[in-house]
Structure 1
Amino acid sequence: MKLYTIGFTKKSASEFFTLLKNNNIRVLVDIRLNNVSQLAGYTKRKDLEYFLTELLSIRYIHDLNLAPTKQILDDYKKKVISWEQYEKSYIELLNERNIQDNLNEKYNKNFENVCLLCSESTPENCHRRLAAEYIKKLYSELDIEIVHL
């Protein structure tokens, strides 16, 4: 089973939507805390949902259970905490939220061709990688392969 992640920064709309199409993404899960910023361009919530549904028949979900808190995000951006501290805080947050029930309800253990969306251009220092790894560990029996687009 393949679980994908994608960041939209440094990708044109053409490149972004082509990656989703070519990888047969069926559900795009937006895990950004803020998905309506002017900086989001073609990935602003209402626009993105329209493009995905109308052009590619991809279901759109905004899942704040997988988003960091504003405090954690701000602390990292302002260099109050390191990436290692961010990772630890984010994983603790997912544990506190007990997200497995939410994931079971929304995805019914089917993460095949689901794609986690965030803004960072690469997954190394992005919570979408952490979320994907968390899901893979949580559902170890599913043999999930993580693919970063």
Structure 2
Amino acid sequence: MAHNIYTIGHSSHDLITFFSILKRYNIEEIIDIRRSPRSNHNPNFNIDQLKEKCLLKYSFQGDILGGRRRRRKSLDNLNNGLIDSDSHAYADHMQRNEFKKCVNDLVLSSQSSSSVVLMCSENNPEQCHRLLLADYLCHVHHIHVIHILFNGETCEHQLNPLARLDEKNNTCIYPSISLI
């Protein structure tokens, strides 16, 4: 059965505003998917501060689910539809077994919680690896992903038109489009 998972970027919010936005959506758990859970611009979102002041269940999974990855040459052209090198590298990372296992565990645990949010730092989900992770959740796990925007409003995740379900490997890929 499909259920919702939210995403959010903490951006420049203070903690009070951030938690009040999450409260609106009855969020019970924050899963931190930043590769480096520290911020020079917003130190109140450093991992130690969040663990100390978080009003919700908090876990860090940025080591596996975080962005800023290197391309995997062994995958050849699997994700060549993505022109942006950071996006391409993250899509390559999504093919790893450790990534798939982590997402499977995330989906299983999210079924027992009324609301889970995947948190990164980037304000705009369209400029963040959350977008690719959302494609993966939608395609592979049939999860309804909702992005919480800076102003607290939400938008439903729209699949990247290049995203394809690779049924053989049960993953999401981004092949280049053939014009022929």
SS of residue matched to 1:39: coil
Give ranges in structure 1 of 5+ residues lacking alignment.
73-81
1:4 aligns with 2:3: no
Deviations, residues 4-34 of structure 1 (Å, cap 9, x unaligned): 1111113232221101111111211111111
Q: Which residue of 2 aligns with 1:18?
A: 20
* CA gap 1:106/1:3 in 2 versus in 1, 3 angstroms: closer
Q: Which residue of 2 aligns with 1:92?
A: 92
- The structural deviation recorded for 1:106 is 4.5
Scaled by the length of structure 2, what TM-score is found?
0.64
- The structural deviation recorded for 1:123 is 0.6
Q: Which residue of 1 aligns with 2:79?
A: none
Equivalent position to 2:46, from 44, 47, 51: 44
1:59 aligns with 2:61: no
RMSD value, Cα:
2.3
Deviations, residues 63-88 of structure 1 (Å, cap 9, x unaligned): 1211124557xxxxxxxxx9633222
- Could you say which structure has the greater relative contact order, defined with CA pairs below 8 angstroms and 6 or more residues apart? 1
2:131 aligned partner, one-letter code: R
Verify the 8 A CA contact 2:69 2:90 in the aligned structure 1. Answer: no
More helix per residue: 1 or 2?
A: 1
After TM superposition, list the pairs within 5 Å mapping 1:128-139 onto structure 2. Answer: 128-139=130-141
* CA gap 1:41/1:66 in 2 versus in 1, 3 angstroms: same
Q: Rg bigger for which structure?
A: 2
SS of residue matched to 1:99: helix
Verify the 8 A CA contact 1:83 1:125 in the aligned structure 2. Answer: no
Equivalent position to 2:120, from 107, 118, 140: 118
- The structural deviation recorded for 1:147 is 1.4
The size of the alignment, in residue pairs, is 133
- The structural deviation recorded for 1:47 is 1.1
Distance in 2, Cα, partners of 1:109 & 1:88: 28
- The structural deviation recorded for 1:96 is 2.1
Deviations, residues 100-133 of structure 1 (Å, cap 9, x unaligned): 3223334426355111111111111101222122
Verify the 8 A CA contact 2:7 2:119 in the aligned structure 1. Answer: yes
Verify the 8 A CA contact 2:30 2:59 in the aligned structure 1. Answer: yes
